[in-house]
Amino acid sequence: MKCYYFLLTICLIFCQKLIAQISIRDSCATLGYLHFGVGIGNPAGNWSKKYGLLPQVDLELGLKTKKNWTFTSTFGFIYSDKVKIRSQLFQDIDTFDGLLIDTNGELVFPDVTAQGWAGALRIGKTFSNLLWNDPNPNSGLFLEIGYKCIRHKLNIQVPLTLLIMRNNYLKGYDRLTFSQGVDFLLGYRFFNNKRYLNFIAFIEWNLLFSKNLRGYNYDLRSYDNTTMLDILSSIKIMWCLPLYQRAPEKFYYF
């Protein structure tokens, strides 16, 4: 119980500091932030053989200190309808034009997309007034580095009448993969003095090591236990909600 009360006290002190009245116009402040945004990724390495461009949606929660150090955790989704290996997936069971035949004798064209989720933990530093005069000490160019993981697979949509591609048999084609590695960001952080508009824009590079979680690919009729190198370069822009209580800008004299 003593440990519980100690942790509760620390949390209350931390929250009190976050909601303290501050003015980001004049000083570098400790504040929390919530980011929400979108981006587009260009895969390289092994990924470039499977996927085209990868649109992304991300949600981030973090803390910026008075020394402009940042600590960020992220969660997001990736998606692509540009699956380059779609034609080879069903080459042993499809017709000459890539169609499958269901139990009713009708031709079916499976819809194949790439989907997955991503998470990251990063530490970074914001450099205010490095190349030009920023609007306040909390804005400026920033660098961040950390760990990132992505769990992704091929989402294959088929009708119920295509029994050959149902249940566990479908897993032999979906290429479920876990990728993990280094996350590196270079961008710009902007906090508006009046809190009207805040954003970050950045370029992100991921150097990832990927492993097939299924192990066996039905279309290739072989086991896949190798670790592959994947690279993902992305451009993102995110809206920022700063978590602090703004100090009053008007003074009254009596």
The structural domains of the chain, ordered by start, are 31-244 (2.40.160.20)
- C-beta atoms surrounding 159 within 10 Å: 15
Rounded Cα distance, 110 and 188, in Å: 42
Task: Render each residue's pLDDT in the chain as its tens digit; 254 residues.
Answer: 545 444 444 444 454 454 455 667 778 888 899 999 999 999 998 888 889 999 999 999 999 999 999 999 999 999 999 998 887 877 776 666 667 776 677 777 788 899 999 999 999 999 998 888 998 999 999 999 999 999 999 998 877 767 667 767 788 888 899 999 999 999 999 998 876 789 999 999 999 999 999 878 877 788 888 899 999 999 999 999 988 665 555 444 44
Element (H, E) at 15: helix 2-18
pLDDT of residue 245: 60
Radius of gyration, CA atoms only, the chain: 24
From first CA to last CA, the distance across the chain in angstroms is 50
- Which residue, among 48, 76, 89, 39, has the nearest Cα to 151 in the 3D structure? 76
Percent helix, strand and coil across the chain, each rounded to 5? 15, 50, 35
pTM of the model: 0.81
